[in-house]
Every structure is written in structure tokens, then in C-alpha cells.
Amino acid sequence: MDFHLEFTPKPFDIKINHQQNLLLIGSCFTEQIGTKLANHKFTVLDNPNGILFNPSSIAKSISSYINNKQYKEEDLFYQNECWNSWEHHSRFSHPDKKICLEGINESQSKANTFLKNADWLLITLGSAFVYQLENKEVVANCHKVPTDKFSKRLLSADEIFNDLQKMIESAVAFNPGLNIIFTISPVRHLRDGFVENNRSKATLIQAVHQLIDKNSNCFYFPAYELVIDDLRDYRFFAEDMVHPNYAATNYVWEKFIATCIDESSQQLMKEIAIIVAAKNHKPFNPTSEQHKKFLQTNLEKLKKLQQQFPYLMLKEEEAFFKS
């Protein structure tokens, strides 16, 4: 008896390798995948605006990187004893207006340079619902401002398509070699309601597939389908029943590797994982001869790996093994 229908996504025709640069933007699920890529020594820039959920804010943020927009004091507002930006996550918020602005603009400049040379842009859409101010401006983050200051509405598939299509055209003009991967976050936005969450995800899926059909440089990775239709069980969610848990995230990660990353990099990832695991190893006796031998053995492995793949960034591990 088979109680599980496994879903294996079709491998991409073009795949990611270790010599490429990846810019990731979107929901908290983006950051989970970004962390795993960074841990395997891919060159990654993750969420320059912080976590973003709706496609309108994501499109706007990417356009701001292309134009290297530099924010001014009038772009900020004061709330909860901090200066904030409607276009950024609260990780940029600060009691000092100058520090808030410096953090935002430093991130903008870094994103502009990175996107110009990026090979892949990975976008994870979380929700088709947006919150608008009185002037109809869509905010990326409500910053715990009272809800009566916003109006909430569901974007249509056409609105999402149009926003993201304009962004794609601008991004390709800025960086002609850019490939784009779209995913839909499997995180369930149940605060919107069960029915509303499904309407939101369906709207995102419809719009994204229209984009894939129109643009040859765009791909779809089915993170949402892997969690909702393949795993399909509450045991793969955290205690809040909303976020995929560790097992689910790892399952999607393994599928991502097989679908999106080329075979030579997959083999290299295994060797890197050994080095990183050794670096994270907690010795019973750091002064013992056995531990010194352990460090020397792994330093030799690392040097061999660096000779074969000089573009790998392993300075942190090298410093550890030399300590």
C-alpha cells in the first residue's frame, strides 16, 4: 500500500553552478533556501529589502536596485520610537534616522552592483494580498501601524502579471544574461482566512505561469506544490501549522538541488558539506593531539578543494582549521 505520491519536478534546461551569482528576494522561505545555498558556498545576496511577501513590493524593490535608488529622510516615517521605511523590513528600522537611512542606502548600492552581475534572480511570492495607505501606495511592511491606517485588497492575476512583466523587462535590459526562477511560498497565510489564502495562492500561481509562458528566461520551481500536494501532512508543519518545518524544508531543498543545480556542483556541494561540518564540530578536548590532527587533515582537504576550485570562498573555514 502506497500512502504517498511523490512529485519529482522536471529538471531545468539551464542549471545553477558555483561560479554564478544568485540574488534571492521574497518571503521567509526565500531566506531558508538562501541560507542553505550560502552554507554550500554559492555566492548569494538574500533579500536586500528584508522579507517581502507581495508581488507589487517585490517588483518595486527590484526596480529600485536597477535604478540604484537612494532613499531620503522624507521617505521615512516615525512609529514605535523608530524610523521606518514602507518599502523595507523592520530589520532596517532604527531610533536614529541617519542610521536607518544609511543601512537602507548601503543595501541599495550593494543590490545594484550585485544584480548587474547576477546570473540568477530567485523570487518567492508569498501573498497576493496587499495593504495600501490612503494615497493608494502599497506597503511592503506594516510596521505594527494600526490596521485602520490601511486598506487591504487582493491583487488580480493581471495586475501581478503586469507588475512583474515590467520588472522582468527592466531587469533584462539592465542585465541581459539574467535568468529568473519563480516560486510560490508554501507558508500558509491563514490570518487572511482559509478560503482567502487559497484564493491568494491560486492568483499568484496563475500570474506566474503566464510569466513563464511569455519569457524564455523564466523558470518555475514548485516549492508550494511539493509541500501542499506531495508531503500533504500537518506533521511537516511547525507548531503554528503555518510554516513548513525542518523536515519539509530539507525535502524541498533536496528537490531544488536535483531540479536547479548542475551535476558537477551537486558533487562539489557534498565535499563542501564535509568541510563545513568539520568546521562546526565541537571538540571534546581542543588541546588534544587528536583534535590537532583533525584540524590538519581538514585543512589539507580544504586546500585541495581550493586548488581545484579557486573561486570558492572558504576563508572562514581555513582560519578555523589554522587556529
Give the start-to-end residue ranges of the domains of the chain.
Answer: 21-261, 263-323
Tens digit of each residue's pLDDT (9 = 90 or more) over 109-159: 999 999 999 999 999 999 999 999 999 999 999 999 998 899 999 999 999
Label residue 9 by pLDDT band (50, 70, 90). Answer: very high
CA distance 54 to 164: 11
Q: Which long-range contacts (CB under 8 A, 24 or more apart) does 149-153 make?
A: 153/129
In this prediction, what percent of the chain has a pLDDT beyond 90?
79
In this prediction, what percent of the chain has a pLDDT beyond 70?
99
Mean pLDDT of 83-95: 96
CA distance 200 to 18: 34
Q: Is 251 helix (H, G, I), strand (E, B) or coil?
A: helix
CATH architecture for segment(s) 21-261: 3-Layer(aba) Sandwich (3.40)
| Side chain identity at residue 109, one-letter code | S
List 77's β-bridge partners, or say none. Answer: 84
| 62 touches 56 (CB < 8 A) | no
CA distance 116 to 96: 31
Q: Are strands 120-125 and 179-184 parallel, antiparallel or unpaired?
A: parallel
Whether pLDDT at 77 is above 80:
yes
Average pLDDT score over the chain: 93
The pTM for the full model equals: 0.93
pLDDT value of position 137: 93
Q: Which of 207, 208, 202 is nearest to 182 (CA)?
A: 208
| 178 touches 172 (CB < 8 A) | yes
Cell (9 digits) for 186 = 508554501
